[in-house]
Chains A and B, each alone.
Chain A
Amino acid sequence: MTNDDELQRLLEQGDTSTEEDFGVYKLVFDGLKSSPKKLTLKNNFSRNVMHRINSKKESPYGDKFWITIGVIIFLISGVYAVSLTTTGFSVFKSVFELKGYIIIFVVLATLFKVIEKRLHLDFTV
């Protein structure tokens, strides 16, 4: 066993009672025990984590899901609007004529949101 081995082994065991010259090794061991100043987190770190957890729980479907839904709705409305305008129908006129469907759509969308919130487990503080 080399002198370095022996010194490190004694310091690991906390045995500094011998006559050995621990010298710089003692400095190294003490330095390694000190908390690195650079590796600190902001004061609001825990709050930021909780915010992330809460927002994740509020939206069980990922962002991609909602973006895809949005794009699909946008495309369908676009195709519908174009088809109406090219056949000579006014979009506003057809909205008026299709008010029943629009009301049903709004009711279903609201219902969907309410059910989604109910299914989502309540997380009390």
Chain B
Amino acid sequence: MNDKDLVRQVLNGHKASFEILIKRYQKLVAHMVGRVISRQEDHEEICQDVFVRVFEKLNEFKFESKLSTWIATIAYRLSINFINKNQLKLADPEMAEILFNKNYIEELSPGKRMEMQDSAEHIQEMVMLLPVQFRVVLTLFHLEEMSYPEIEEVTGMPIGTIKSYLFRGRKLLKEKMELFMKTEEL
């Protein structure tokens, strides 16, 4: 069943269709929320809030964009609201390089790095050490395979900024991976 039919059925009162919609997009929401909110205990609750909001606002969705983009937008906004409400600070993207190096030393000890089974796991761990804005664009672009205009719609960031965060984020990850591989060889 395509998204249009699914939304129509939900709006007609077919509750089981909304459960299908949740299952279809729960990974997207989990990734989106998880990249903004690091605390595991808040993760599931915010994800639930996202789908409750989707349900409440579904009649306002006019298919001017993809359903996935619209849901991701809600997930991003609710996550950022949560950060602001709880007076948590977003790291300054301009300080990304310094913060990333600091976090890498503090959070990923050499022992922990060695424990990781593969490079993909190592990269995923490192992504969480980047500023939130970097994590979000990297996830939307690579994992959710969204285009630049779609990421712009979700985050409200200009395309130039998105490209800059993607490039800088990947460069930081590459540099650390190179370093890690060199130490592993020794």
| Cβ-neighbour of B127 out of A24, A32, A121 (below 8 A) | A32
A97 within 8 A of B: no
- Beyond A24-B177, A49-B51, A50-B19, is A39–B31 a contact (Cβ under 8 Å)? yes
| Residue B173 at the chain A interface, CB threshold 8 Å | yes
CB interface residues, A 29-53, toward B, < 8 Å: 29-42, 45-50, 52-53
A14→B23 CA distance, assembly (Å)? 30
CB-nearest residue of chain B to A36 = B124
Interchain pairs with CB closer than 8 A, number: 105
Given contacts A30-B120, A49-B22, contact A5 B142 (CB under 8 A): no
B177 lies within 8 A of A42 (CB)? no
Give bound CA distance, A80 to B65, whole Å.
60
Distance of A62 Cα from B27 Cα, bound (Å): 30
Which residues in B have their C-beta under 8 angstroms from that of A4? 167, 171, 174
* Of A32, A37, A45, A46, the contact of B123 (CB 8 Å cutoff): A32
User: Smallest CB-CB separation from B33: which chain A residue?
Assistant: A39
Query: Which of B48, B143, B167, B178 is close to A35, meaning CB atoms less than 8 Å apart?
Result: B143
A50 to B122, alpha carbons, bound, how many Å?
35
Most chain B beta carbons < 10 A, residue from A49, A52, A53, A56: A49
Set of chain A residues within 8 Å of B101, measured between Cβ atoms = none
CB pair A48–B34 under 8 Å, yes or no, is no
Contacts of B19 in A (CB 8 A): 46-47, 50
| Other A-B pairs beyond A4-B167, A5-B167, A37-B124, 16, CB < 8 Å | A24-B178, A27-B119, A28-B173, A32-B123, A32-B138, A32-B143, A32-B170, A36-B31, A36-B127, A38-B34, A46-B23, A50-B19, A53-B52, A56-B52, A123-B13, A125-B15
Among all A-B residue pairs, the 7 with the closest Cβ atoms: A31-B123, A39-B34, A32-B142, A46-B22, A34-B120, A31-B120, A49-B51
Show 23 A/B contacts (Cβ-Cβ < 8 Å), sorted by A: A5-B167, A8-B167, A24-B174, A25-B174, A28-B170, A29-B142, A31-B173, A32-B127, A32-B138, A32-B139, A36-B31, A36-B124, A36-B143, A39-B35, A41-B30, A46-B19, A49-B52, A50-B19, A50-B22, A52-B48, A122-B13, A125-B15, A125-B16
Residues on B close to A: CB < 8 A? 13-16, 18-19, 22-23, 26-27, 30-31, 34-35, 40, 43-44, 47-48, 51-52, 55, 119-124, 127, 138-139, 142-143, 166-167, 170-171, 173-174, 177-178, 181
